[in-house]
Chain A
Amino acid sequence: MNWTQLFSSSIGKKIVMALTGIFLVVFLVVHCYVNANVFFEHPEMNFNKAAHFMGTNFLVRLTEIGLFAGFLLHIFQGYKLELQNRSTRTSRYAVTAGNKTSKWYSRSMAILGTLILLFLIIHLAHFWVPSRITGLEEVTYDGQVYHNLYLEMQNVFAQPLSVAIYLLGCFSLSWHLLHGIQSASQTMGWTSKNYFPMIKKTGTIFSILIPFIFALMPLHFYFSWPTIKGAFTLLF
């Protein structure tokens, strides 16, 4: 058996979904960590510096290519699987068990994924496109010039519609992760009688916590909440 066979089999395709999914989860942690600067003292400077590091560091940029590839693979493979799986039952049931035997979000990964994809497009248009292509206002700290992404955040999140879209995005992400994390563990074969409850619990906490922190950001700007005293350790 070779690699093509592995990845073209039903389990192989799921492994691709799991691996890219896990990669994207790791990205979420980093993204959340960087953005959390906005909640603490000197938000503008710390956040812009961190964003600058993420935007200029060679290794990070290299990973970004991987990230885009991961996104595309996850999205295309996801849709392909969904279509394939839908084609296995052309004669549909008149009555279905619904939530009696499985969770709605576990059956709705494609829809949740689509919502996240729509959100992602808007999100990229808000921040990634100006930062990388069309340009942003600049700001200088200690004699060095930085993009003022912080200002962009303030602008975007001043609009109630944007805030609503971001909240919906976080909401979809939370449900997507709630199934996705334990599902990926199962597909990778990491689950077993003893570990499954723990994996599920960890996955649940993660799925709620990360999107929750993300969701606080637009609210933070919209309602102009005060920053938290104390330093937020930066690696950058």
Chain B
Amino acid sequence: MLDSKIPGGTLDSKWTKYKGNVKLVNPANKRKLEVIIVGTGLAGSSAAASLGEMGYKVKAFCFQDSPRRAHSIAAQGGINAAKNYQNDGDSVYRLFYDTIKGGDYRAREANVHRLAEVSTNIIDQCVAQGVPFAREYGGLLSNRSFGGTQVQRTFYAAGQTGQQLLIGAYQALERQVALGTVTMYSRHEMVELVIIDGKARGIIARNLVTGELERHFGHAVLLCTGGYGNVFYLSTNAMGSNVTAAWKAHKQGAYFANPCFTQIHPTCIPVSGDHQSKLTLMSESLRNDGRIWVPAKQGDNRPANEIPEEERDYYLERRYPAFGNLVPRDVASRAAKERCDAGYGVGSSKQAVYLDYAAAIQRYGKAEVSKRNLGNVAPDVITALGKEVVKEKYGNLFDMYAKITGENPYEVPMRIYPAVHYTMGGLWVDYELKTTIDGLYALGEANFSEHGANRLGASALMQGLADGYFVIPYTLGNYLADDIRTQSISTDHEAFVAAEKKASDRINTLMSIKGNQTVESFHKRLGKIIWDKCGMARNAEGLKQAIKEVQALKAEFWSDVRIPGEINGMNPELDKAGRVADFIELGELMCLDALERNESCGGHFREEFQTPDGEALRDDENYMYVAAWENKGNSWELHKEILNYEIVKPSQRSYK
């Protein structure tokens, strides 16, 4: 039976009470306790820095050449916090409520409330570190609005919020490296988890430069390894983002929760051809001012600027008058897919919709005219002024669009299409962020907890930092307090030897296949299966077929993959092969999970389960649970964590 260990008491007192009663480790003992942290994104860096500051001996690992390059850096839009600086009715409760509702009632209340509570501390901490958030002329912090909410609670640093937050955490981490509390292992990848007497006690890491396998002991292991969006091959994730560390843990007993909950982001630059290696996100903040539309006529091939106003269908504004272009991501993505599938798509691929700034340019231009008291001016002056304002607000995003597409978004509407962006699913964790393996924790996107079936914009950064700065420092102590008598275990221990052998056997097997197909080609095929059958819309038929296809692909991979180069030395193809092999296995589980969940909720849209007007149809009666999958070798067993809503009353999500 899964025990989520939610503390007693009223919702808003749980965390306070937990902190008040949690076991502590005294400073002298902390120095003797070693903690392994895998991944140095927002969750990993902030955890490493915080635990280092507390006195633990931390070893942090990342596959990139520097911890500063983790993919958190690519988050553009912002970070939510219930500061209510704008006096617009925000509160911890409202942030909690929005997140639960946005997640389509598939998240754990207690966790989400804790997240909302610590959100305000995150902003304070980041400001103190020197994160240059956007400010008003009065010198105070600026906020913007984001999808799925009606208050302005998003803090941002132009379109580079993730970068600035990560650099803040990275600097805190490097400070600890300088102080000697954290040892950093860059260009290292975790390839096996070491379990001794039922507890996670270390990892086997591959030094990606030399190819050597290294054994590392830790009293506890923290996986902060991000999401698994790259299972789709094309996603907004970084090329190296992978599920390997989490998957190794899963195969050794950590349950994997809600793998089918993946987020498709509505505003990405469309695919241009077969050569495409990744997709680029355009910040959701663009939906604040941009209007999304398709031609009202099917197969309209006229250039956007030649389609008159009355022949355009602003479908989000039409379908969701209350939230308009700011509906949550899953809703916006599905609506775009619906239009394109119905034959209204634009661009050469017809798999795109317009994101139009013409109206915003006019609106801002007119505001500028009156601000500057210019009186009656020619229309092109208004347009020029408006473009200036838009440039100031979104210049970097517009530039990026222009670089990638070769089109000028100030003149013609941008073309956008949904793309895989975030994975709500992940390793199952309890209230303390502990997985089903004792001593193994999962933080940030790597765990499943806070976002339910759909994540709201600007909440990923919040969760990563909440876990690392303000949750794990307490919950880890609660575990390690009982471990102070455990001496460091020698890495000559048989469990380390066995784990290393397992890892090395796998690498040798991969290298010895010497088949005919490249790793990349397998990855592409996997991505296509998952995107087509377990993407924005799924159905039982397709999922069953997908499972068969993925199984066949797995067999083919292990008999026909071709990896060049050597084991001893830098070999990016070998690194990639290990990751793709794990993605293939995960792909099967995703389809299985999607097939098992006979309802539509959040990012999981089963075509069989929808309202007459095409909205997601939840089945709270039968599916209000977290699906936690236990690996049984070649099959999986489902465990259910029933979700109890004490405060929020689940209802059909409506943004109309």
Direct touch of chains A and B (CB < 8 A): no
Q: Which residues of A contact B (CB under 8 A)?
A: none
